[in-house]
Chains A and B, each alone.
Chain A
């Protein structure tokens, strides 16, 4: 059961990611990216990271994708589709990717540690919002506060960048 979940999620995630990179209509790319992010949230659940799965769906598939779709709406996105496909470059990347995918497992197998079986930890890991919150507000509290400053700076920066000059 676990295996069926993992393999179907893995293949659909890779297919969605490939669609994001290869398709030429930006709206389709954005929708495929939403699919990839939701599939990744499902993979987080198979790793018992329930809170992160929820955050992934809310922040990525929700907020970030709305930003992308807004900008696609604002811009003339059909120009990309009119450019010719760079077949030579794409072929070169494909050959390189196949070489990497074929070669890396062989390289990894030469390390002695790779021969030991990878067993999951037997710690109890229903890891949810409570545990993450405890960590965030104790050991990682300075980082958490810094993130708040980062978000404030980003918000102000976006407003400044996108503001039209009132007296040109």
Chain B
């Protein structure tokens, strides 16, 4: 059969690819809004790997870790977007290229 059995490896590979896509977004995009969305993708890739590992080992503890990651990600998004709004009031822009006043 072409579609073999789904193993832990499939989920880990998917998680890795998702992380790669998110990392490309963080490194390439200049809009801070998109960078923060890509950060969410990175956290989600890690969550997927954790949940797959929990199913693989048959233990519940990684679920608790994922629960905390989701909570912290929500707090991070709230603070990050607040900083973004505050910066936008100063510079009238959300592009990372315009926030280089600390560069030498």
Contacts and interface: CB of A to CB of B under 8 A. Distances in A.
Contact of A59 (B30, B55, B74, B83): B74
Contacts of A89: 28
B17 A101 contact: yes
B79 A47 contact: no
A contact face: mostly helix, strand, loop, or mixed: helix
Nearest to A44: B51
Contacts of A3: 3-6
B3 to A, nearest CB: 4
Contacts of A140: 64
Contact of A13 (B18, B28, B92): B18
Interface residues of A, number: 76
Nearest to B10: A6
A125 interface: yes
A119 B56 CA distance: 7
A29 B83 contact: no
Give the size category of B's interface with A: 35 or more
B55 A132 contact: no
Contact of B25 (A21, A68, A147): A21
A132 B64 contact: yes
A135 B61 contact: yes
Contacts of B30: 80, 83
A13 B14 contact: yes
Contact of B92 (A26, A76, A157, A162): A76
A101 B41 contact: no
Nearest to B86: A161
Contacts of A21: 21-22, 24-25, 28-29, 34, 38, 41
Given A21-B29, A120-B56, 15 more contacts: A10-B14, A14-B17, A14-B18, A20-B41, A26-B31, A33-B37, A49-B51, A52-B70, A68-B33, A68-B77, A120-B8, A147-B68, A150-B75, A151-B75, A161-B83
